[in-house]
Amino acid sequence: MARRKIGVIGGGFVGSTTAQRLAEKELGDVVLVDIVEGMPQGKALDLSQAGPVCGYDSCVTGANDYASLAGADLVIITAGMPRKPGMDRSDLLKINGEIQQKVVSGIMEYAPEATLVIVSNPLDVMCFVAHQVSGLPKNKVVGMAGVLDTARYRTFIAMELGCSHKDIQAMVLGGHGDSMVPLTSTASVSGIPVQQLISPERLEELVHRTRHGGAEIVNLLKTGSAYFAPSASAVAMAESILLDQKRVLPCCSLLDGQYGIDDTWVGVPAVLGANGVEKILEVELNKTELDALQSSASSVHEGQGEVAQMLSLA
């Protein structure tokens, strides 16, 4: 049986670390694609040479074109420009929207059956672009944000309680940004509600830190942004899809009525399996959380309309 083929678009820190994690887990053969000549080839060769040391047999190759993705089962898209000083939200939407449009068109030419996992920012709107451009059914396009945001939330709760993050159950819904919704009503430690263990005031501080978790890392690094946790999150989603694990993970998915939200890409609990987003779980939220989720979705919907006009998308 032939091994699966997994594409990673973008050879920067997130993309190359994603390729490394995919190879180490032996989820399939990995193709790293970037427009910079020689860069993905060099990183792929380096990753291949790590195989004998780390004990993996995954084939890792690099390319500057999309033809190498022919027959890919899944493609993770990390390509995009980071927001620079003086650049407003609309500028970022247009630049990354155009990049996403070009990337997805290239993928579809050679791997029209691939499931797409979007990591590029602004995440929720880029999922909209990928869906529109690809023409894929909505279950075959999914965005990575909730897994990352939830990992940060779980980390902060574990640090606060001095316990293992393995025992923290928590979830972050909504858009990937300041409007995200870390749920406090359902967060628990081995089944014990965190609201019994952490004061409301302190819990709200952890929620605030989660919302700004990415910015905290950017401020510490001075140049660059997070890539260890984002790549781990993308690979967790890819693994669930490729191995049909049917894990329940918070993912950016297209809603059509769930939570009172229509035609909007937003983070919600989803079952990820061989068919991509196989089911969206509609859990009961308190009024504050539901209002926050709908407000977050409204902001995303506005961005979708803005980028659709910029790129002349249907």
For residue 45 the two structure tokens come to: 């060769």
Q: What is the strand order of the sheet 262-273 is part of?
A: 60-63, 29-33, 5-9, 74-77, 115-118, 141-143, 247-256, 262-273, 276-280
DSSP E strand boundaries for 53-174: 60-63, 74-77, 115-118, 141-143, 168-169, 172-173
* 125, 131 contact by CB (below 8 A): no
Q: Are 28 and 73 in contact, with CB atoms under 8 Å apart?
A: yes
Matching residue, tokens 């995200």: 180
Of 176, 208, 212, 301, which residue is the catalytic one? 176
Amino acid at 237: M
Under 8 Å between Cβ of 196 and 157: no
CB 33 within 8 A of CB 68: yes
Q: Is 131 a catalytic residue?
A: no
Catalytic residue set? 176
